[in-house]
Amino acid sequence: QQAEIGLIGLGVMGSNLALNIAENGYRVAVWNRTTERTSRFVETAGALADMIVPCETLEDLVAAIRPPRPIILMVQAGAAVDEQIAALRPLLSADDILIDAGNANFRDTMRRFSELDGSSLTFIGMGVSGGEEGARHGPSIMVGGTRASWLRVKAVLTAISAKYQDAPCVAWLGTDGAGHFVKTIHNGIEYADMQMIAEIYGMLRDGARLDTDAMARLFERWNGGRLESYLIEITAKVLTEADPATGRPMVDVIVDSAGQKGTGRWAVIEAQMMGVPATAIEAAVAARGLSALMAERGAAEALYGTPTKGFERAEGRNAIDDLELALFAGKIAAYAQGFAVMEAASKEFDWGLPMATIARIWRAGCIIRSQFLDTIAEAFEDGDVANLLAAPRFVDLMKESVPALRRTVARAALAGIPVPALSAALAYFDAYRAARGTANLIQAQRDFFGAHGFERIDASGAHHGPWGG
């Protein structure tokens, strides 16, 4: 019996996705660059092995799948995808569908679309979120490609996707790079979420001087409220864990230098390219960069002294009371930025990104899944919004939570605790809701040194100042 779908690349994500496909009743043919991994994969597949067709060569793989063949590529983003496409092309026939499910840069995806244009092959760029667990039991899936190609793979993708209250967390978001673009913004928001949580942890550790168990209890409690989300949930779990080797809290023995594979940075680069302010996300990416400067940070601490002495007891209590709402306000600002970047890209690339749907398919399966996404979906369903900060549902939430964010950022500044993403979120809010900012001065300076001209508040057209007579 022929397989209904193929999958290339049996790394962590690929093998879990293959098991997920098999479990949902689809016979899946698999191939990996090293055959040994393929054999090991089938050996460990247990009862699902019956639904898996291991292949030793790409020719075998293609022969094992019933045409027209959908083939998922789950290989490392970048050159490996191009190599894989090049190797497959001569083997495939009309109407076969290649689905790149890696964390591709959407610009690469766009290029691959144009390179395959005119061939009879169909390409889909698909963002998959949820890590190992998601891949195995239901990820959130963001699809980009033609509508016709989506309809051909809709059934299997729906089957393997996460479900939220029975609704599948998969959707066709637009043509060519739309799926990978949305995944990139998902990751930018993921970076901001994680960074802001880490900043709150910094306030608790270095300001309020709580131990990790007390912190864990706080995060656990917050997870029962408006902050309810996967990242808050795992933060509480992480903070409870002890190091088996030393008995110390696990977080205390982990080096404070964060890795990054590039998707967060891409989100920021794209935001900059489109001129959309995404400062909280930028701050989160920059904070990872700064975290990597271990030796320099050590040397600078020796020069300037330890930054914080922590809060006085009462101040510590006040600080803790504010953190839940502060984080919530920061989160709203960061998501407003992420969605604004998607709005701009949607126009620029003519995707017609369905914002409410995006929020809904992030509701389960993905790393940023949270209750808060329901409110975002509702805000977009209420009607057109240029920015979530201007959406009626968010105005009251911001009014309620911004004071706590303001106090938190102020306390952090006075105590010398870095909260770059929360600060950026607050500054964004303050600048966004100011009808008259300070760019008039910048315009004056530009005109002064470069005769760039400016608009007047009381007359149309370009004007120049009387600088220096």
Nearer CB in complex with ligand 6PG: 261/317: 261
User: What b/e string do you get for 353-379 counting C-beta neighbours within 10 Å, with b at 16 or more?
Assistant: bbbebbbbbbbbbbbbbbebbebbbeb
Neighbours of 156 (CB within 10 A): 20
Q: Which of 46, 247, 259, 298 binds ligand 6PG (CB under 6 A)?
A: 259
Neighbours of 438 (CB within 10 A): 8
Q: Which of 221, 261, 313, 347 binds ligand 6PG (CB under 6 A)?
A: 261
Task: Please list every residue from 362 through 391 that binds ligand 6PG, using CB under 6 A.
Answer: 366-367
What are the helix (H) ranges across 24-90? 35-43, 58-64, 79-88
Nearer CB in complex with ligand 6PG: 142/385: 142
Q: Does 126 bind ligand 6PG (CB under 6 A)?
A: no
- Residue 61 annotated in ligand binding: no
Answer yes or no: are the C-beta atoms of 271 and 339 closer than 8 Å: no
Task: Please list every residue from 175 through 194 that binds ligand 6PG, using CB under 6 A.
Answer: 187, 190
Catalytic residue from among 23, 83, 190, 400: 190
Residues paired with residue 219 on neighbouring β-strands, in sequence order: none
Q: Does 78 bind ligand 6PG (CB under 6 A)?
A: no
Q: Does 160 bind ligand 6PG (CB under 6 A)?
A: no
DSSP letters, 371-430, are THHHHHHHHHHHS--SSGGGSHHHHHHHHHHHHHHHHHHHHHHHHT---HHHHHHHHHHH
- Residue 440 annotated in ligand binding: no
Q: Does 235 bind ligand 6PG (CB under 6 A)?
A: no
- Residue 131 annotated in ligand binding: yes
Question: Which residue is associated with the tokens 């190797």?
Answer: 87
Stretch that binds ligand 6PG, among 89-97, 255-263, 301-309, 433-441 (CB under 6 A): 255-263
Answer yes or no: are the C-beta atoms of 30 and 18 closer than 8 Å: yes
Q: Does 195 bind ligand 6PG (CB under 6 A)?
A: no
> Phi, psi (5° rounding) for residue 126?
-125, 120
Q: Does 291 bind ligand 6PG (CB under 6 A)?
A: no
Whether 190 is a known active-site residue: answer yes
Residue 193 amino acid letter: D
Q: How far is the CB of 15 from ligand 6PG (least distance, A)?
A: 15
Q: Does 121 bind ligand 6PG (CB under 6 A)?
A: no
Q: How far is the CB of 135 from ligand 6PG (least distance, A)?
A: 8
Residue 137, burial from CB neighbour count under 10 angstroms (0-12, 13-18, 19+): middle
Nearer CB in complex with ligand 6PG: 11/68: 11
Residue 107 amino acid letter: R
- Residue 433 annotated in ligand binding: no
Query: Taking the mean position of all CA atoms in its chain, how far away is CA 107?
Result: 17
- Residue 452 annotated in ligand binding: yes
Residue 217 amino acid letter: R
- Residue 130 annotated in ligand binding: yes
- Residue 103 annotated in ligand binding: yes
- Sign of the Cα torsion 365, 371, 372, 373 reads positive
Q: Which of 103, 109, 122, 223 binds ligand 6PG (CB under 6 A)?
A: 103
Which residues are the active-site residues?
183, 190
Question: Binding site: residue ranges?
Answer: 9-14, 32-34, 75-77, 103, 129-131, 186-187, 191, 261, 288, 446, 452
Residues that bind ligand 6PG (CB under 6 A): 103, 129-131, 187, 190, 259-261, 263-264, 366-367
Question: Binding site for NADP(+): residue ranges?
Answer: 9-14, 32-34, 75-77, 103
